[in-house]
Structure 1
Amino acid sequence: MSDADLPAALEGRVTVVPADAAGPRPLVLVLPGGGYRRTADHEAEPVAQWLAGLGLHAVVLRYPVAPEGATAPLHPAPLDAAAAAVRWVRAGGTGLDVDPARVAVLGFSAGGHLAATLSTVDDDAARPDATVLCYPVVSFGADAHEGSVKALLGPGAGEDERAVLSAELRVTSATPPAFVWHTADDATVPVSNAVRYAQALWGAGVPAELHVYPSGRHGLGLADEEPHVAAWTHACAAWFAHLGWRRAQA
């Protein structure tokens, strides 16, 4: 990969982490959280390294965010960057041997909102083939994370604007299958966000796997500090195996 291969929207924003595996491999686009104000380091490259260990190529996208105190709407810059990243990956921009029909997106918190929004776009070339959502922001209506709403839409966003970016309202039968996890006592982003997205998928006839762990703070990432919650990585690996994206481990 060279910077010349990158669309302008992705310059200086992507880190490619290849899997040590032969043949065309699936790739996962990693979207860290941070309330659309930053992109959290612990939800970025360490997650990509974990995915590479599963035999999945990974790309971390540091999508555009709004600086603290900014009031101008950020949307649609993050979505445009994420869509460009999926198209770039499918076009062979990473220089890796990627299966263009097996490109997933994995997002944490606000990055989960971006992943869910990307998963519900009408553009077949930009919509991923599978989705992983980790304690995601989903709804900009009920139980919304207002910090993400203000960063993305600016203060005073109306109901119509919020509805357009409420991913649970955008789900159709074309939305990709999803693995979703959250903690029941998340005090920052209510677990209802994850539940609503899974319910929307089930209602549309799209497979979804939902894991709700009893306890754990928001922003755990790989959750090394919480062994019970860290089981999400094993469950997610098994889900990828179920999709046929990796071999099931004995």
Structure 2
Amino acid sequence: MKKLLLSILLIYTATLQAQQVIPLYTAAVPLALANGTVKEYTDSTRGIAYNVTAPTLTVFRPSGKAGRSAVIICPGGGYHCLMMQREGYIPAAWLASQGITAFVLSYRLPDSRIMTDKSKGPLTDVQAAIAYVKAHADQYHIDPEKTGVMGFSAGGHLASSAAVLSDNTANKPAFSVLIYPVISMSDSIGHRGSRDHLLGADTALYARFSTDLRVNSHTAPAYIIHSEEDKIVPVENSIYYYLALKKNHVPAAMQLYQQGDHGFVTGMQPAEWLPPVLQWMRLNGWN
């Protein structure tokens, strides 16, 4: 496993160094507290970001023949940190190699020390990212109607939140790709760490942020990947979301792996698990 991860990192390091990093906001950051004292930092060895206060987008543009699709990637980390390398840059670089423009979102992690409402901070950032990419579609040679989101774990919760809670075409994705996503905030199958970081003890918000309960006929279609052996985020999260999509006649596909614990795709080459996602995108006219 360690040798495989090292080889993947070496393959994509040079690609990452050539990418453009842009600030998500050019004016005041929404919901930000002026006297916030939290310092942002990155564990560069492991590619993990902590205490994000200044959201950014890292752009991976195709070097060869490009299509018109774009994917905004939300790394996971339990709303405590961001797995930028394994669940951001590596899949983004592979998508770019397949002609898809990818944007890795470094979103703010919910923290009452830096924002007025921590439950709204991450969602505000992903909606702003979607709006930015669509507004700059001509610059990146993409189609706003082929702009989707991808999220891992807690980032999957964020991506599904954008799919169900965005209320206008400017900040709503055309589709979502959810990899072992946190969906429910319930006691039975929810991921307690993600819930505690995002919502704290405010039980009144649990149903609002359980995205399987918020699905309707206008929810963005989804491709879902999960492992039946996941011990951190039970597979029922994905199953309940999928069933809610089907109940509301929203296009959806789900791939369940028999084996593999939480985060299992990060131990694989992107070419081993991402091609079916591209096939699904082509099937629906997004690639």
TM-score scaled by length of structure 1: 0.87
Other-structure match for 1:146: 192
Other-structure match for 1:244: 285
The letter for the 1-side match of 2:275 is H
Q: For residues 241 and 69 of structure 2, what CA distance do their matches in structure 1 show?
A: 24
Give ranges in structure 1 of 5+ residues lacking alignment: none
Other-structure match for 2:240: 196
Shift of the 23–218 alpha-carbon distance from structure 1 to 2, 3 Å rule, reads closer
Other-structure match for 2:251: 207
TM-score scaled by length of structure 2: 0.76
Which structure 2 residues correspond to residues 91-106 of structure 1 after superposition, within 5 A? 91-92=135-136, 95-106=139-150
1:3–1:11 Cα contact (<8 Å) kept: no
2:233–2:262 Cα contact (<8 Å) kept: yes
Shift of the 185–84 alpha-carbon distance from structure 1 to 2, 3 Å rule, reads same
Shift of the 18–192 alpha-carbon distance from structure 1 to 2, 3 Å rule, reads same
Shift of the 54–162 alpha-carbon distance from structure 1 to 2, 3 Å rule, reads same
Percent of pairs identical after alignment? 35
SS across alignment from 2:71: strand
CA RMSD of aligned residues (A): 2.6
After superposing on structure 2, the runs of 4+ consecutive aligned residues of structure 1 that deviate more than 2 Å are 1-12, 20-24, 220-223
Q: For residues 244 and 93 of structure 1, what CA distance do their matches in structure 2 show?
A: 17
Shift of the 162–18 alpha-carbon distance from structure 1 to 2, 3 Å rule, reads same
Q: For residues 60 and 94 of structure 1, what CA distance do their matches in structure 2 show?
A: 19
The letter for the 2-side match of 1:103 is T
Give ranges in structure 2 of 5+ residues lacking alignment: 1-19, 30-52
Residue 26 of structure 1, CA deviation:
1.1
Residue 244 of structure 1, CA deviation:
2.4
Shift of the 223–94 alpha-carbon distance from structure 1 to 2, 3 Å rule, reads farther
Other-structure match for 2:61: 18
2:24–2:57 Cα contact (<8 Å) kept: no
Q: For residues 146 and 279 of structure 2, what CA distance do their matches in structure 1 show?
A: 16
The letter for the 2-side match of 1:153 is L
SS across alignment from 2:140: coil
Shift of the 221–13 alpha-carbon distance from structure 1 to 2, 3 Å rule, reads farther
Residue 14 of structure 1, CA deviation:
1.1
**Count of equivalent residues:** 239
1:78–1:114 Cα contact (<8 Å) kept: yes
